[in-house]
Structure 1
Amino acid sequence: MIEPTVGLLRGAGLLSDEPDEWYREWVRWTLASGLTPEQVVDVARDEGITAATFAPLAGSTVWRGPDKRPYVRIDDARRARELARLTELLNGGRPSRTDARRDRNRWSYTGLFGLNRGDAGVAVKRGALVATPEGTMMAVAGSRALRTVPNPVDWFASRGGTTWGEIYLVNGSFDDPADVLRTTVESGRRPPGSGAPSLARLLRHERVHSEQWARYGYTRFIWEYVIRHDPRKPCEHPLEREAGLADGGYRC
């Protein structure tokens, strides 16, 4: 159905140049999301997709899960938001509908701990960062500076990992954080320390937490999660229940 859909896109005036493989892959995953070819045309129109949309992915490191879905490594924190959007789009998502969340969580990209490059800047400098099909990011901390002092990225992760804004932080410090990300993505299994049934379900769970960060704001989310409710009792925690206890690996 890919080539017939490309023909429809061309006939609708939405595709004038020859599409590259990224464009065809976008068609593939958008069809796989359950849309008809005609609906794919509507998505292209709404999202402003052209033959050049995925050009920024050229030269990027791409890891693929067992289902061949692409995850794009982020080496430059200045491009974190752009690559997160493109990865969501490439996987059949609708980033125009999730941009409001990214706007509310903009400190993940600019400000706070990473200063003008946001928390993404800390993750890139002190570990490894990848954009996920959910339109969020996943980070792994690098090695410890001192044996008794965790990597700065790991300061903000606990237990099975922790989401801060747009970034899910895998718990622990690792000598080769990029390899930990790669093997996690390619295996499709939960990352180190997590009890989730699979990476895909974990990322779905953590994406809901990103939505909660956006809904409550930085200070209010921390108050709701840590002070108003007891994080040591996840099965009773309303924010964990909303995110999906089974997806997060909680056995209640």
Structure 2
Amino acid sequence: MTEATVALLRGAGLLSGEPDDLYREWVRWTLASGLTPEQVVGRAREEGVTAATFAPLAGRTVWRGPDERPYVRVDDARRARELVRLTELLNGGRPSQTEARRDRNRWSYGGLFGLNRGDAGTAVKRGALVATPEGTMMAAAGPRALRAVPNPVDWFAARGGTTWGELYLVNGSHDDPAEVLRTSVESGKRPPGSGAPSLARLLRHERVHSEQWARLGYARFIWEYVIRHDPRKPCDHPLEREAGLADGGYRC
């Protein structure tokens, strides 16, 4: 089916030259999303996919879940948004439809709760970062600078982690944050502290929170999540209920 779809793309004038392995993988995952080969041709037009689209991912570290879905490690925060978009696309997603969300949450890519100068940001200093199939980011903080001083992420992430805009922060400080992310991705299991049934379902839950941040805006999201409703009672919290209590690991 993959090669037949590649031939259709070539015949439609959307592919010239020999596609690389990542292009073929994009075809496979897009077919797996339920599209027919003819619809994949339409998706290529919609998303502007060419043989060179996935070139920025060449040589980058790719971790794969048990289902072989690719997660791309982000080792240069300045390119995080580009890599996140390509990871979503590679997994058969439609980043052109989610760009508006990333635009509204653009503060996620810089500042206290976002990315900063090539690491995972002030709140996740010396951390590790990975782009997920949901078109969002997952980060784990590095070790504390001083053992007596809490890592800022310990103040701003609770239970199994917390989403700030486009960035899902795994709770806690870690001597090897990249290993925490890699282990979670490759096992498909929830990260430390989370009660979610699987990483995939947790990321789906957290992606809804990203949509809420975009819809409500920074100040109103904090008001609705922390002040108007009690975050200690997730089963009664409208934002948690919207995100899917079971996906988030809440047992009500």
Global fold match (TM > 0.5)? yes
Q: Which has the larger displacement, 189-198 or 153-162?
A: 153-162
Give 1:159 shift. 1.2
For residues 112-169 of structure 1, what are the alpha-carbon distances to aligned partners after superposition, in whole Å with 9 as ceiling and x for unaligned? 5558659944477420000000000000010111213232334321112100000100
Q: Could you say if the C-alpha distance between residues 40 and 123 of structure 1 is closer, same or farther in structure 2, counting changes exceeding 3 Å?
A: farther
Give unpaired runs (5+ residues) of structure 1. none
Aligned to 1:215: 215
1:40 matched to 2:43: no
Residue 119 of structure 2 contacts residue 128 of structure 2 at CA under 8 Å; is this kept in 1?
no
1:31 matched to 2:31: yes
Aligned to 1:195: 195
For residues 206-233 of structure 1, what are the alpha-carbon distances to aligned partners after superposition, in whole Å with 9 as ceiling and x for unaligned? 0000000000111110000000000010
Structure 1 CA distance for aligned equivalents of residues 70 and 115 of structure 2: 29
Structure 2 CA distance for aligned equivalents of residues 189 and 39 of structure 1: 33
Structure 2 CA distance for aligned equivalents of residues 62 and 152 of structure 1: 28
* CA root-mean-square deviation: 1.6
Residue 77 of structure 1 contacts residue 124 of structure 1 at CA under 8 Å; is this kept in 2?
no
Aligned to 1:169: 169
1:61 matched to 2:61: yes
1:140 matched to 2:140: yes
For residues 48-104 of structure 1, what are the alpha-carbon distances to aligned partners after superposition, in whole Å with 9 as ceiling and x for unaligned? 000000000011100000000000000110000000000000000000000000000
Structure 2 CA distance for aligned equivalents of residues 239 and 45 of structure 1: 35
Q: Could you say if the C-alpha distance between residues 149 and 188 of structure 1 is closer, same or farther in structure 2, counting changes exceeding 3 Å?
A: same
Give unpaired runs (5+ residues) of structure 2. none
Q: Could you say if the C-alpha distance between residues 54 and 103 of structure 1 is closer, same or farther in structure 2, counting changes exceeding 3 Å?
A: same
Give 1:109 shift. 1.1
Aligned to 1:131: 131
Residue 190 of structure 2 contacts residue 198 of structure 2 at CA under 8 Å; is this kept in 1?
yes
**One-letter amino acid of the counterpart of residue 202, structure 1:** L
**One-letter amino acid of the counterpart of residue 135, structure 1:** G
Aligned to 1:85: 85
What pairs up with 1:67-78 in 2 under 5 angstroms?
Answer: 67-78=67-78
Aligned to 2:206: 206
**One-letter amino acid of the counterpart of residue 57, structure 1:** L
1:126 counterpart SS class: coil
Q: Could you say if the C-alpha distance between residues 175 and 115 of structure 1 is closer, same or farther in structure 2, counting changes exceeding 3 Å?
A: closer
**One-letter amino acid of the counterpart of residue 128, structure 2:** A
TM-score scaled by length of structure 2:
0.96
Structure 1 CA distance for aligned equivalents of residues 59 and 150 of structure 2: 32
For residues 157-183 of structure 1, what are the alpha-carbon distances to aligned partners after superposition, in whole Å with 9 as ceiling and x for unaligned? 111210000010001101000000000
Matched pairs, number: 252
Instruction: State percent identity of aligned pairs.
Output: 88
**One-letter amino acid of the counterpart of residue 172, structure 1:** G
